[in-house]
Amino acid sequence: MKHTLQYKLLITIFSLTVIVPITYAQNVSVQQFWQLQQQQPHVIIDVRTPNEFSQGHLTSAINVPYQDIAAIVTTYKDKEQPILLYCKSGRRAEIAATSLQELGYTAVYNGRNYQDLKATQPHPIP
């Protein structure tokens, strides 16, 4: 009986480690996102669709849909340069961040939610 319980516990733990996805994205708060944005040089990438981007985006953000994120390797060769990502909820940005980290980028941050970031975006000083 004791061995059966240990066996079931071992199977449960193994199953959870297989089911739980591994995430490489470093999620940051809106405050951390804007603090990172103050560091130079940086890149802000909106990973939503071009249609979503055209309806509004953060100042200085470029649009690279998450499924096309690997294309930035030709433009942004410095893999230590901070890259700030966001989308509607954070899920697509997380996928893009994982892809970038698999390509060797080391300073990738997921700001997640566009609406929260837009609402707290600092205004440029004239």
CATH of the domain at 97: 3.40.250.10
Q: Which residues are annotated as catalytic?
A: 87
Q: In this predicted structure, what is the pLDDT of residue 11?
A: 52
Residues of the chain short of pLDDT 50, as ranges, are 5, 9-10, 12, 14-24
For residue 125, tell me if it sits in a domain: no
Residue 62 counted as domain residue: yes
| Alpha carbons 102 and 121: distance in angstroms, whole number | 29
pLDDT number for residue 108: 95
CB 24, CB 102: distance < 8 Å: yes
pTM: 0.77
Residue 4: the pLDDT is: 55
Q: Which residue has the tokens 């066996």?
A: 7
CA dihedral 59, 62, 65, 67 (to 10 degrees): -130
Tokens of 39: 């560091």
Residue 6 lies in a domain: no
pLDDT computed for residue 125 by the predictor: 57
| Residue 69 DSSP symbol | G
Is 19 among the domain residues? no
Look at residue 85 in the predicted model and tell me its pLDDT. 97
pLDDT at 21: 42
Evaluate whether residue 5 is within a structural domain.
no
Q: Say if 15 falls within a structural domain.
A: no
Per-residue pLDDT, 19: 43
Question: Which pLDDT score, from 0 to 100, does residue 123 have?
Answer: 74
Establish if 7 belongs to a structural domain: no
- Predicted confidence at residue 46, as pLDDT, reads 98
Q: How far apart are the C-alpha atoms of 100 and 73, rounded to whole Å?
A: 9
- Domain, as residue range, for 64: 26-120
Cα separation, 86 vs 120, whole angstroms: 14
| 69: in domain | yes
pLDDT of 40 reads 73
Q: What domain count does the chain have?
A: 1
Distance CA 54, CA 43 (A): 18
